[in-house]
Structure 1
Amino acid sequence: MPASRPLIRTPQGVALYIGSVLGGGILVLPSLAAGQSGPASLLAWTIVTLFSLPVALLFGLLSAQHPTNGGLSDFGRAAFGRHAGNLAGWLYLFVLPFGQPAVMLSGMYYLAYVLGLPRSVTVLLAFGVITTAVVVALAGKRLAARVQMLIVMAIALILAWTFFIGIPHIRLSHFTPFMPNGISSIGATVALVMWSYIGVENLSFIAEDFEDPKRDMVRTVLIGTVLVTVLYLGAACLTIGVLSPEQWATTRAPFAEIALQCAGHAAMVAVTCVGLFIVSASALASIWGGSNLCASLAHQGALPRILAYRIGGIPRPAIVAIWITYAVTFTAILLLDFDIDAMARLVGASTLCTYVMAAASALKLMTRYRFLAWITLILSGSALPFFGWTLLLPATVTLLYLLYSLCRRHPSSVKEKIARS
């Protein structure tokens, strides 16, 4: 099969979008957010939802006008030159080792809840899931797209069933007091919940694989964003209404707990299967998009050239390199006791910086719908202070990129300076 043959239309694009954005957020964030700010977490979800739509449309329009597999990296390069594009790519690429392990753990927490697994086994199983996704990605894009479509269809059916059994058990008394931890808690919850919509940019990394990007990209993100919003807000209301305030702060598998309370052990097992489906879908979408970005950056000289090679049309060296970074991160998780909330904030901080760069690029590249770029720029800039110390990650990545660029430009002189020091 020729590598250039189009693979994606709107239905497959929506499946990839939902799998990428939905990720593990719907599995753990409703209870984490409720535990932080109570029913007022619904305000945080609403704020992030309103923020996500112009961002998703902006990436859809940029991808329709510039359908390459470099995504936001190519947008920055076209607008401001090589280094801006490379830096945008680095900021996105180097959060993948934090983001996907968090997604994998969110699904494995459900399995641990059902089987009573120790943390070490949970972490190893999460690494096994993402390794399986890597193998599927190495097997070929068409296989990945078909698996993704089946997974997302299963997610939609089983989540709808979970909502159906849970809605009669919602207690309105759980929604009062509405703001038990004060208004200041909402800002911190926004920073946490932001992770739930990270992935709206993922389709920009596979825009070349759409049969007709100009027709399908905007349509895909509109449909996908509406569906994801319904699922997130529904999950948040269900978690607050069914679970007790004590459970908001302690459970890491809210859907499994809801299923157990409302329909028994078998329902809990079924929801656990949903968790495994969701993280598998997210892993496939992330590896597919991330490997294309990695190969594009290597082609531009921003990473070692070997990562630019495609074997059978698939960026296999880039896929393997991303898997190695996951292996390093899972080792650190196992030894240093990292948890999802810290990783989610790190990912959110760095990704928000890329949204600022994408909005600035759009202001230069787009002649129509520039108001979307202004909205994205203002909202992203306003949200940055809520991320606090996690902004150290994008700052560190920026410094590392500058050092890498300096070494590539003057390799001999840099080595001499290091030797003299």
Structure 2
Amino acid sequence: MLTATRGAALYVGALLGPGLLLLPALATQIAGPASVLAWAALMVMSAPIAATFAALAVRHPVSGGVATYVDEAFGRVAGAVTGLWFLTSILIGSPTVALMGAYYVADLTGTGPTAAAAMGLVIYASVLAANTFGLRVSSGVQLALSAVLVAVIAVAVGAALPDHVTQGWTPFAPHGWWAVGTAAGGLVWLVIGWEAMAQMAGDFRDPARDVPRAVAWGFGIVTLLYVGVAVAAVVVPADPGSTVPLADLVGVGFGSVGRDATALLALLLTTGGMNVYIGSGAKLAAALAAEGALPAWFAGGAARSVPRRPLAVLACTGVAMYVPLVLGVVGPAEIVLATSACFVAVYVLTLAAARKMLTGGLRVCATLALVLFCGLGPFLRWWLLLPVGVVVVAVPLLRRRWSRPDGVEGAVTGGAPEQVAP
């Protein structure tokens, strides 16, 4: 059974992941030193979000993920759309994560961009192969990797800040104030995971007492870490054009040894995070197919620990996304924002469901979180066309499919994947 301390550790592990390898530096590139305001805004948003999901975990624990809440509140079509949004984020985000890890390996080995591109494909293929044979990274291993990452970043930030804390703050908003909102939209990757505790509430000894404590402690740890990273990304900027900004930061505090260790950790963290997300995404696709939200073909072999048919589709879509990334047709920033648009859509529907399910002060908390998350929409601009496109295509098909007498009955229970922030 989980204690509050162990729960807080799991919470931190659910929020931290490969996104830390790139996103802090990306936010600084988008908004300059004013990116710290984007971090601050996300932390302000995270407080009511964390409180909302803690309340849901205690009062409405589920095992199927956020789609289950949406299904219960708004019906099976909305629940299916939520699952499809999450699946879309995995389809487009995984190749970017693979390339992130590959850049760090290339930095470790002293090779160039061609070798990095090849290594990214190797990482992606290795994760797919592992899932094909049912080899999964355990939550304990992923938690340990996240803990090491937290320790390394915390010490590196502590070592680097004293000598640089007054540097790099001018001009404060070189790209204008609107860029702050755009940076916040990209950083959404780093706050996805607050809902994970709802799926583990039944594992606590005393959910009513321990879940709020776990959420509070996890929020405090993550906030302190993100504040340090946000400031460090400004005052210790990565080299222009660097593809390994976290290694640049750690190298300031630990030299070449720290830089090499960061590259190795980046590879392990990337592989572990992708392993969890791709395996869970395949299971989600099979569950959606079993409910009629996807073609029945995807449900074939669903009894396996990781269904192989969805994995085959993930392999094809991954390569299709990876090639333009490597060729520079699209950049990591564009993929990050597109993925963030899907995440924002998922959270908006989930928080709207929470508002409907909770009462009193907790409903006010859910409403505040919903309003704040909706506020990110204008900054994501046309990237929101991606989740809108999913709705336009999927909703008529789902309604037509489920209105037939032979339509599949039952709620969407596949839910969202096990949470390891991308």
Instruction: Tell me the TM-score normalized by structure 2.
Output: 0.82
- Counterpart for residue 329 of structure 1: 321
What does 1:113-152 align with in structure 2 at a 5 Å threshold?
Answer: 113-133=107-127, 144-152=138-146
Instruction: Give the alignment's Cα RMSD to 1 decimal.
Output: 3.3
Aligned residue among 291, 314, 317 for 1:300: 291
Q: Is it true that 1:80 corresponds to 2:80 in the alignment?
A: no
Deviation, structure 1 residue 310? 5.1
Aligned residue among 268, 284, 288 for 2:259: 268
Q: Which amino acid aligns with 1:149?
A: L
Could you tell me which runs of 5 or more consecutive residues in structure 1 were left unpaired when the two chains were aligned.
Answer: 1-5, 412-421
Could you tell me which runs of 5 or more consecutive residues in structure 2 were left unpaired when the two chains were aligned.
Answer: 405-422
- The number of residue pairs the alignment matches comes to 401
Alignment CA distance shift 1:143-1:348 (3 Å):
closer
Aligned residue among 254, 257, 262 for 2:248: 257
1:171-205 deviations in Å (ceiling 9; x for gaps): 4132233333332321222222222223333455x
Q: Is it true that 1:222 corresponds to 2:213 in the alignment?
A: no
Aligned residue among 274, 279, 287 for 1:283: 274
Q: Which amino acid aligns with 1:282?
A: G
Cα separation, 1, equivalents of 2:384 and 2:21: 25
Q: Is it true that 1:356 corresponds to 2:323 in the alignment?
A: no
What does 1:31-180 align with in structure 2 at a 5 Å threshold?
Answer: 31-133=25-127, 144-180=138-174
Cα separation, 2, equivalents of 1:284 and 1:293: 14
Deviation, structure 1 residue 25? 2.5
Instruction: Tell me the TM-score normalized by structure 1.
Output: 0.82
Report % sequence identity: 28
Alignment CA distance shift 1:334-1:378 (3 Å):
same
Deviation, structure 1 residue 410? 7.8
- Counterpart for residue 340 of structure 1: 332
Contact preservation (8 Å) 2:292, 2:398: no
1:228-272 deviations in Å (ceiling 9; x for gaps): 22222211212222237xx3x532322222343444322211121
Alignment CA distance shift 1:15-1:282 (3 Å):
farther
Cα separation, 2, equivalents of 1:386 and 1:197: 17
Moved more, 359-368 or 337-346: 359-368
Aligned residue among 360, 363, 381 for 1:370: 363
Cα separation, 2, equivalents of 1:19 and 1:217: 15
Deviation, structure 1 residue 374? 0.4
| Higher helix content, 1 or 2 | 1
Deviation, structure 1 residue 132? 4.1
Cα separation, 2, equivalents of 1:213 and 1:76: 26
What does 1:12-23 align with in structure 2 at a 5 Å threshold?
Answer: 13-23=7-17
Deviation, structure 1 residue 321? 5.4
Cα separation, 2, equivalents of 1:132 and 1:371: 45
Alignment CA distance shift 1:115-1:142 (3 Å):
closer
SS of residue in 1 equivalent to 2:176 = coil
Cα separation, 1, equivalents of 2:352 and 2:307: 32
